[in-house]
Structure 1
């Protein structure tokens, strides 16, 4: 098992359409103003800050809701905006505050055996102080429903959970900010992809990825207590081309698939602990971490492996500490670490590793290392 995508196309579906006052108009009509409890079946807008006491808006069909910079406040309960499978729906430009669930999805009762499909986009939103920002649940496994939640240019702040859900649709996030949330992702049987974004000061980024996955690329992760708690059942994590700093733990003790490629990982406690998980750690720079990389080698009886290839380890405590069959080391450079450079008894030496000026001797265990290159 050399490589596998985790979050490719992230789709699925959810529950049932609420009964309330419908706001309808001909397709060619101008957008209409809506308020708490409305079922929105044409393009619409919010014309003032609105407190809904737990009863928000339900979108049905192909519609766009423009909040026009206003706030939709749930006062601590209910669902703010419910998108309905079977249509293409967009929500733009405003704030969702104080909801039990700010955005959720419902499955129409006439979805049929083949399930329903939803395409939902969200842009220019702020989701602040909600219990859950976006519930991705749509009964994708048993109901056959499919949906994608597209997020861009949005801010998630002080929420209990940003993305959650069982048998959910996939979330694809671009150019957004996650600040001081308790948990960013905790899900089962679905996936989330985050790119070109900032994640700062969150307690946990990835809590549960059971039979699902999280991909973060081209982003900045700073001062999050834990990026990934690890230990996911049949789940996986991919981190690519990110700047990651200031965490107690970046990747916690794993028992599943992890891919860490071309990141800059600086000033953390434990950077990567693969435990008995598998995957690849390739082309990263590890600097000033207490522990840069550690693992025990993969278990499970399948063709699982760990590849540690082309990384640079500088001024960490321990750079590479790993044991066990199924681990391969190639072209890594470790120097000026206060502990071990490369301590890897029992691994497969693919050559090209270098180590010098590390605090523990010998400089390399388990692989043959060259020293400092001549200038």
Structure 2
């Protein structure tokens, strides 16, 4: 797995904006930020576009909020050792309403508390939004990315050693890694879109990820890839990916989701326990495939395989099928010669006979 180093450079002797500046009638709330290297400790707003060099363009400290007011903070490119917005210290802090582009880290979070990125476009950086704790201490930070667009970065969202990441109503588009969540944390993804990244969402290395009502489309490799983690997916859509979902060495439960027009809808790898329930795999080159020699159980139930090339193909002895319908696939409907048959499976209109291998299939209604 590719990892991207996070370089945190703090400027010494930066200008400081203190909380509590009096508001004047008709003036915007908070204190104006007008120069690179400013430290914000209360409510503040960006007075105009900023173009900055190395270091942190704006540092947001403690319980502070920075409103970009539709303006842009620009850096010198993704190879520089720089942060567009740098969250520090204990507290609940926020940056909102604007654009951050051309930094090593567009937004970097440290310390503890809730760090929120809301209504921000972050692009052209090595890491769009990054936050990494310390493996030797307990980290209680929450990193929240809400109603934002994370686009054309090497890694869109990179989170590690953090207690919790929340990605809501956010578009993660045209990055190499869309979001990379790793190392002992947890992530909740809801109502978000991952599109045209090499890999959409990677959950790895003892992370817990929960994905609901989200869309994964147009990825060269996996829309969602799980490695050595626990993943829950519900009510989500995977389309036009190399693989909609793929995983190894962990556990994934997928319910009420749809996989359409992928090269492989669901690809289960080594030592991985998959529960696929009440889902539809339609118009994929292959609906489901698993490792032939894997001994970790995959359970597929109450799901439909429709109009794929092959519906389900697995040589594994560790697969159990219950109430699976294979309908009008051009090749195999169900080919799982070593499967455990839990009953209720059906098949009809598939290109290969018998309609089902390894389980008994009745006709579809």
Tell me the TM-score normalized by structure 2. Answer: 0.88
Size of the aligned set, in residue pairs, is: 346
| Range moving further from structure 2, 162-171 or 325-334 | 162-171
Which of 289, 312, 315 is the aligned partner of 1:323?
315
Corresponding position: 1:53 with 2:53:
yes
Q: Which residue of 1 aligns with 2:138?
A: 144
TM-superposed CA distance for 1:229, in Å, is: 7.1
| Range moving further from structure 2, 46-55 or 248-257 | 248-257
Q: Which residue of 2 aligns with 1:66?
A: 67
TM-superposed CA distance for 1:297, in Å, is: 7.0
Which of 291, 297, 301 is the aligned partner of 1:305?
297
Q: How does 1:190-229 map to 2 (within 5 A)?
A: 190-207=185-202, 209-228=204-223
| Range moving further from structure 2, 286-295 or 195-204 | 195-204
Q: How does 1:1-375 map to 2 (within 5 A)?
A: 18-19=11-12, 20-26=14-20, 30-34=29-33, 35-55=35-55, 56-76=57-77, 77=80, 78-107=82-111, 117-139=112-134, 141-189=135-183, 190-207=185-202, 209-228=204-223, 230=225, 232=227, 234-252=228-246, 254-276=248-270, 277-296=272-291, 304-373=296-365
TM-superposed CA distance for 1:221, in Å, is: 2.1
- Residue pair 2:194, 2:201 contacting (<8 A) in 1 also: no
- Residue pair 1:54, 1:80 contacting (<8 A) in 2 also: no
Which structure 1 residue ranges, 5 or more long, are not aligned?
1-13, 108-116
Q: 1:191 to 1:268 in 2, by over 3 A?
A: same
- Residue pair 2:150, 2:171 contacting (<8 A) in 1 also: yes
Q: How far does the alpha carbon of each residue in 1:308-331 deviate from its partner, in whole angstroms, 9 at most, with x for none? A: 001111110111112334322101
Q: How far does the alpha carbon of each residue in 1:68-127 deviate from its partner, in whole angstroms, 9 at most, with x for none? A: 0000011213011111241111111010011110111233xxxxxxxxx31112211111
TM-superposed CA distance for 1:62, in Å, is: 1.0
TM-superposed CA distance for 1:169, in Å, is: 4.3
Which secondary structure does the structure 1 equivalent of 2:305 belong to? strand
1: CA distance, partners of 2:242 / 2:274: 22
TM-superposed CA distance for 1:15, in Å, is: 7.2
TM-superposed CA distance for 1:219, in Å, is: 1.8
Q: How far does the alpha carbon of each residue in 1:173-192 deviate from its partner, in whole angstroms, 9 at most, with x for none? A: 11111221111122431233
Q: 1:147 to 1:24 in 2, by over 3 A?
A: same
Q: How far does the alpha carbon of each residue in 1:193-252 deviate from its partner, in whole angstroms, 9 at most, with x for none? A: 2211222212211346122244332122221222357572x2244332122211122223
2: CA distance, partners of 1:239 / 1:168: 21
2: CA distance, partners of 1:172 / 1:231: 17
Which secondary structure does the structure 1 equivalent of 2:36 belong to? coil
Which structure 2 residue ranges, 5 or more long, are not aligned?
1-6, 24-28
Q: 1:177 to 1:54 in 2, by over 3 A?
A: same
2: CA distance, partners of 1:207 / 1:175: 18
TM-superposed CA distance for 1:290, in Å, is: 0.6
- Cα RMSD (Å) of the superposition? 2.3
- Residue pair 1:329, 1:348 contacting (<8 A) in 2 also: yes
Q: How far does the alpha carbon of each residue in 1:57-76 deviate from its partner, in whole angstroms, 9 at most, with x for none? A: 11112111100000001121
2: CA distance, partners of 1:231 / 1:154: 24
- Residue pair 2:288, 2:312 contacting (<8 A) in 1 also: yes
- Which stretches of structure 1, 4 residues or longer, exceed 6 Å deviation after superposition? 14-17
Tell me the TM-score normalized by structure 1. Answer: 0.86
